[in-house]
Chain A
Amino acid sequence: MKKELFKPEGLIQHTDRRAFLKMGTLSVAGAGLLLMGCKDDEDVMPPVSGGVSLGSGDVGILNYAYALEQLEAAFYAQVMMGSYFANASAEEKTIMGDLEKHERAHREFFKAALGANAIADLEVDFSSIDFSSRNSVLGAAKTFEDLGVAAYNGAGQFLESGDLLLIAGKIVSVEARHAAAIRDLINPNSADFAGDDIIDANGLERTLNFQEVLTAASTYVKTEIDFSQLPG
């Protein structure tokens, strides 16, 4: 049922295949029953004025990814203009340079894929980051990369399109590669690259939902992001 062809410039505004799954007997299930696999249509809520609205369905999730990639790309662009980068080791310069290019490529890809549905450019706020400090830059990079992985891992289940799910999968593993490298720069040759703070006893990496991710990101984003139409 989730086999829709992906059309880069013409992502369908809203798809209603979930209507297929609508059930007539939900009342018996009682309040509080979360139907993760057999979803009813989500409530349609009007976007708030001001800021950006991510939209609904797969478009909304792509915009969510686009917002995070905007944040990451802007961060690394600023890193490369700061004095930490100017004085960094050759290895760290290579890593920061690579991450800047990867995140910029991700951002531009999502923008192109979303076409007219893309949200506007976000206004970022990195005033809490000291771009002359290695500790501050690497700490922020760790936050962004770990957050990105948890966000993609949490959002995958809401994508209707298998093609988009695969693309998200292609990106999330690169974010995880970044996260492990940054963590190893902070604490070399330790187990922190895949630490117990983000991986549980079953060997599963944490997932975060839309609200958790956007709340964490809000420290660095001035633009108000309305995610109320996202599925889930």
Chain B
Amino acid sequence: MNLLKLLDSMCPDTTNAEEKDRFYSRREAFRQFGDMSKKMALAAVPVSLLSALPNVAKADTDSLIGVLNYALTLEHLEYNYYQMGLDSGVIDTAERPIFQKIRDHELAHVNFLTEVISNVLMGTPVAEPSFDFTAGGNFMPFDDYPTFLALAQAFEDTGVRAYKGQAGNVMESDVVLTAALSIHSVEARHASMVRRLRTKKGQDMTKGWITGNDYGTLPAAAAGIYAGEENVSHAGVNVVNLTGIDQDAVSEGWDEPLTMEQTLGIASLFLSS
């Protein structure tokens, strides 16, 4: 994944043959630059080169920026949550490597999305919001480890659903789609790990995958995070009827999306006013 690949995903915003030629030749120049410096870090791409990016269809770009800013908001939330958890000392020593790894990924996602929005799509990344992880004094995640783990599960499962819900909105850019998918599966790995950890510690009976719309021992407010996960019909095929496999197992086999509105409704509980 790199900026040069992103260029390849862009189409010229013109029907004029001469302008198309210019688009492709400029893109090829970028490609050759990339070939000379394959090991160049993402952040090291000179701004002067980036500012000369070929024109792309503005509507497409605005739409991509909107989706990526939405993703960036969620990544800010997750990164802040894990960093504060690690700083607070609430996490059992033996399990810190798990949350250090998750924190590292969320920070990498923040940096990656910020870079793509600002230096590739020439947009403005959203500012980091202020968070209230007590949700108005209801939770004490940095004083109580089970609460910390419960909210971590809620954030990761929400993240998986949120990215999934946007796949269709970025599919016009192959590279943005592939990047989003590559973040999406990382969030799913996090979710599986946190879910199973809670069960190993006797705090829940949840598995790495989501059974029906069960939110286990999470607070009732988490019901919205799992609403719809009980679906067993895909593309008009009821997979329980098709296979005779039990409803629980079939529901586990497919994760479901959330819309931007649903996700922001969940996330807004943790934004400070």
One of A78-86, A128-136, A152-160, A219-227 contacting the partner: A152-160
Is residue B70 within 8 Å, beta carbon to beta carbon, of the partner chain?
no
Q: Which residues of A contact B11 (CB under 8 A)?
A: 21, 37-38
Does the CB pair B255–A33 fall under 8 Å?
A: no
Interface centre among A28, A106, A152 (most CB of B within 10 A): A28
- The answer for the CA separation of A177 and B254 in the assembled complex, in Å, is 11
Does the CB pair B164–A166 fall under 8 Å?
A: yes
Does the CB pair A194–B239 fall under 8 Å?
A: no
Is residue B179 within 8 Å, beta carbon to beta carbon, of the partner chain?
yes
Interface string of A2-23 (1 = CB under 8 A from B): 1000101000000000000101
Is residue A149 within 8 Å, beta carbon to beta carbon, of the partner chain?
yes
Question: A109 and B168 in contact (CB under 8 A), knowing A176-B185, A177-B192, A194-B105?
Answer: no
- The answer for the CA separation of A170 and B237 in the assembled complex, in Å, is 14
A33 contact from B24, B94, B185, Cβ within 8 A: B24
Interface centre among A24, A30, A109, A203 (most CB of B within 10 A): A203
Interface string of B231-267 (1 = CB under 8 A from A): 0001111010011011001101111110000000000
Is residue B154 within 8 Å, beta carbon to beta carbon, of the partner chain?
no
Does the CB pair B237–A2 fall under 8 Å?
A: no
Does the CB pair A174–B181 fall under 8 Å?
A: no
Does the CB pair A203–B186 fall under 8 Å?
A: yes
Question: A36 and B236 in contact (CB under 8 A), knowing A200-B1, A203-B112, A207-B182?
Answer: no
B24 (CB) vs chain A CBs: closest residue: A29
Q: Which residues of A contact B255 (CB under 8 A)?
A: 169-170, 173-174, 177
One of A40-48, A96-104, A116-124 contacting the partner: A96-104
Q: Which residues of B contact A189 (CB under 8 A)?
A: 94-95, 97-98, 197
Question: A176 and B171 in contact (CB under 8 A), knowing A98-B207, A204-B112?
Answer: no
- The answer for the CA separation of A153 and B253 in the assembled complex, in Å, is 17
Does the CB pair A165–B184 fall under 8 Å?
A: no
Is residue B173 within 8 Å, beta carbon to beta carbon, of the partner chain?
yes
Say whether chain B's binding surface is mostly helix, strand, loop, or mixed: helix
Is residue B62 within 8 Å, beta carbon to beta carbon, of the partner chain?
no
Interface centre among B102, B167, B173, B256 (most CB of A within 10 A): B167
Does the CB pair B24–A203 fall under 8 Å?
A: no
Q: Which residues of A contact B132 (CB under 8 A)?
A: none
Does the CB pair B17–A25 fall under 8 Å?
A: yes
Does the CB pair A98–B209 fall under 8 Å?
A: yes
A196 (CB) vs chain B CBs: closest residue: B101
Q: Which residues of A contact B234 (CB under 8 A)?
A: 109, 167, 170
**Of residues 43 to 98 in B, which have CB atoms within 8 Å of A's CB atoms?**
94-95, 97-98
Q: Which residues of B contact A125 (CB under 8 A)?
A: none
Q: Which residues of B contact A101 (CB under 8 A)?
A: 245-246, 249-250, 252-253
**Of residues 185 to 205 in A, which have CB atoms within 8 Å of B's CB atoms?**
189-191, 193-194, 199-205
Question: A109 and B239 in contact (CB under 8 A), knowing A171-B254, A193-B193, A194-B190?
Answer: yes
**Of residues 137 to 151 in A, which have CB atoms within 8 Å of B's CB atoms?**
149
Q: Which residues of B contact A164 (CB under 8 A)?
A: 235
Is residue A51 within 8 Å, beta carbon to beta carbon, of the partner chain?
no
Is residue B230 within 8 Å, beta carbon to beta carbon, of the partner chain?
no
Is residue A94 within 8 Å, beta carbon to beta carbon, of the partner chain?
yes
Interface centre among A104, A152, A163, A169 (most CB of B within 10 A): A169
Question: A37 and B24 in contact (CB under 8 A), knowing A166-B257, A169-B167, A204-B112?
Answer: no
Say how far B42's CB is from chain A's closest CB, in angstroms: 7
- The answer for the CA separation of A174 and B157 in the assembled complex, in Å, is 11
| 8 sampled A-B residue pairs with Cβ under 8 A | A23-B20, A30-B28, A101-B246, A101-B249, A105-B243, A175-B185, A180-B189, A194-B102
Which 5 pairs between the two chains have the least Cβ-Cβ distance?
A203-B108, A37-B9, A176-B188, A191-B101, A177-B192
